[in-house]
A and B are shown apart, each in its own frame.
Chain A
Amino acid sequence: MLQKSKRNKKILVALYLAIPLIIYVFSVFVPLVTALFNSFYDWKGGPQKTFNGIQNYIQLFQDKTFWQSFGHNIFLVLFCLVGQVGIAFIFVLMIDSKLVKLKGVHRTFGFFPSTISAVCVGFIWTMIYDYNRGILNWFLNKIGQGDATKVWLNEPGLVMLLVSIPLVWQYIGYYMVILLSGISAIDKEIFESAEIDGANAVQRALYIVFPLIKNTLLICITLCIAGNMKAFDNIYVMTSGGPGTSSMVMALYGYTVSFKQNNMGYGCCISVAIFVLSLLVIGGSQKLFNVLLKDKGVD
């Protein structure tokens, strides 16, 4: 009787687990395999496809816009690693300090921007950068720097930086919450004894907090890289990848090729490339992170 009940329970658990698994398979695995399959075809959308071997991949290697977009994604990753995870780490140390009051308020307000949709964030920052009515140019005019005002989102050299700032602003709170949970797991006695031994705040952060939350930090870095390798929405809203292709990122380029140029085969090829390149960047960064920490004697 007991055994039967256990077996039933197992079936029930398997049934529950099957639901997310089916969703995952249909929404992630199947499209990925389909995209890989279609990437070997000359397919302009519609029932007719012509197998063209690795022609799309050859085109991809020669496609300047794609590699420019990849470069923009790497810029985004580096900028956001410092901006999102780095600043979040500093904020966490500040909030965790004994000197800071109203910690709950800081946590809530810090986290608030990450609850807003990326499209809204894009619109908010488009308004901030607006040439005639934006707060940035208004401020520059107020402080007598009227000559420095610009049509910000029309500056090819600056536009990647400008579309990255909203992403940093939005996600600091997100990583702050993850890192806070990591820090709260550290035994407070370690800090106390370090303080008694005369370690200052920077030393405590570098030699105690940093190594002890290594795994949490690694999660944050992985999430940050994965998130920024597939960045799309706020850039789509703010610049559509422009001016020209100055703020084009891989996902946006894939979308443009697939839906504006109706070149589905090549669009699939770009999607596969995004997947592979993201895996390489994430894997590479994890290896690098482990090597760097090993040098510091952290396992």
Chain B
Amino acid sequence: MKKKVVSSLLCAAMLVTMVAGCGGSGSTDTNTTPAGGDTQSAAAGTEAGGSDAASGLAYKGDLEIMHFSTEEESQGNGGSDGMRTVLQQWNDANADINLIQTVYANDDYKTQIATLAAADDLPDVFLVQGMNVREWAKQGLITDLTDEIKNSPYSADYNESYFTPFKDADGKIYGFPVLTGGTCTVVIYDSKAWADAGYDKFPSTWEDVEAAVPKLQEAGYKEAIAFGNSGQWQMNSCFLSTLGDRFTGPDWYQSMINKGGAKFTDAEFVAALAETQRLFKDTEIFNKDFNAISNEDAREYYISGDAAAFIGGNWDESYIQATLKEGNEELFNNTKFAVLPQPKDAKYDENGQNIGLGYAVAINPKLKDDPDKFAAAVDLAEYITGPVFSDYVAKNYGLGGLTKVADPDLSSLDQMTQDFYNWSYVDTTPCEIYDSYLASAVWAVVNQDLQDMVNGDKSPEDVAADAQKAYEENY
């Protein structure tokens, strides 16, 4: 009899566990961790410094937010650290609201949010990528926030250009751009190595880079520039997006975004593809294994001194900076930044680099049913993208957010941070990040084709034709 009772209890326990397991992944006050994620009910307050978060909201209860600023990521990454800091401040200032954070690593976040969107089970507040905005807006998955943004207490300080990827064809805005405005294409180079090869600054044309290769090889460098494209997106985000702008100019891409008649098959864009293919396939500028290694592997070539330069995004820069600061003072002091060199036949701005905010804080339209909760969500979105965040990342990391910071005091930051700030926001011209716009289905096709193209297995014309087909079918 006793055995039966025990078995029945165990049985019941298993069933309860199963049922609980089938439920949502982040709706408890405890520190339950869903698969791959980290759910935390941030009730315990920590002094995050000078909280002036808005309070006095009418809403009382749970408010979910899903993001990808993990604790690990925030070590050295200004955007993630800033995000976690302002979230904590807002939570502290709104004691009646139980802010439930579900945090995933970036790759997992993309899969998870796509799954939740498919199931129409998105959290109250979440981060949306520019390339998904139009489709998700059409599906009714994200709220039109145009009026809220216009009426935001910080609207005068907003950097308006950052909103562009989050607008639909009618100009409605669906999110508060979040995290830091960082470049996706920066040349990080060892100024001493290039000076020894005869260049006081990083070469401004690809011809000069090609001419420098033998000299760098003689000096013991295995490669001039390290690049990694095993994930397939890097060639697009961290190379073509800027190089393309040099050939097509900004109007062409605006026309692509607005369906204004521009095509991927236009001669200027095909020329950009052809130049990309030439640089990777026919020259010895890049490491031979660029298609088989990731950007994380490629930046190690630079850190270890095998490569005299590296091309990547701001996330690579923060990693390289943190690593060199700890372990290689000489290279840390010699590291400088440059824009992509100008191709011979390119006619447009040679000082351009693609910079922007790739994600925006979006709000689940279901919250409209509860105006108080919606107001709380808007308040949260405004706060975590507002001046407190921008000031924090400017002061501590030399980075910029959605709101402008007038003459930030960078004097307490090291030289490399100051250099990168000036390079990112002052000395260069911004251009668009291709995959912040259009549709993910388009970029999945383009990215796959680009990998074949730089191997020489597909012609630039075929890549352009495939891209145009995907564009017409999906955008």
Q: Which residues does A use to contact B, with CB under 8 Å?
A: 12, 15-16, 19, 22-23, 26, 43-48, 129-132, 151-154, 156, 239-246, 256-264
Contact = CB atoms under 8 A, between A and B. Distances in A.
B18 A22 contact: yes
A154 B292 contact: yes
A248 B59 CA distance: 49
Contacts of B22: 26
A119 B338 CA distance: 37
Interface residues of B, number: 46
A156 B232 contact: no
Contact of B135 (A44, A153, A239, A240): A44
A239 B231 CA distance: 8
Interface in B426-458: 439-441, 444-445, 448-449, 451-452, 455, 457-458
A262 B135 contact: yes
B36 interface: no
Residues of A contacting B: mostly:
loop
B132 A243 contact: no
B289 interface: yes
A131 B292 contact: yes
Interface stretch (B90-98, B115-123, B147-155, B385-393): B115-123
Q: Which of B120, B287, B439, B440 has the most CB of A within 10 A?
A: B440
15 contacts: A15-B11, A19-B11, A47-B141, A151-B292, A240-B230, A241-B448, A242-B232, A242-B451, A243-B455, A244-B451, A246-B452, A259-B110, A259-B114, A262-B132, A262-B135
Interface of B: 4, 7, 11, 14-15, 18, 22, 110-111, 114-115, 117-118, 120, 132, 135-136, 138-141, 222, 230-232, 287-289, 291-293, 301, 306, 439-441, 444-445, 448-449, 451-452, 455, 457-458, 474
Given A19-B14, A46-B118, A46-B120, A12 B7 contact: yes
Contacts of A259: 110-111, 114-115
A46 B117 contact: yes
Contacts of A12: 4, 7
A260 B114 CA distance: 9
A45 B11 CA distance: 37
Nearest to A48: B139
Contacts of A258: 114, 118
B441 A261 contact: yes
A233 to B, nearest CB: 14
A260 B118 CA distance: 12
A47 B448 CA distance: 29
A240 B141 CA distance: 29
A29 B452 CA distance: 38
Contacts of A241: 448
A15 B10 CA distance: 12
A131 B289 contact: yes
A241 B139 CA distance: 30
A242 to B, nearest CB: 5
B18 A45 contact: no
B232 A240 contact: yes
B118 A154 contact: no
Given A131-B289, A240-B230, A262-B132, A45 B114 contact: yes
Nearest to A44: B135
A151 B441 contact: no
Nearest to B455: A243
Contacts of B139: 44-48
Contacts of B449: 244
Contacts of A239: 230, 292
Contacts of B117: 45-46, 262
Contacts of A151: 288-289, 291-292
**Among all A-B residue pairs, the 7 with the closest Cβ atoms:** A46-B139, A244-B452, A131-B289, A261-B441, A45-B118, A47-B120, A153-B292
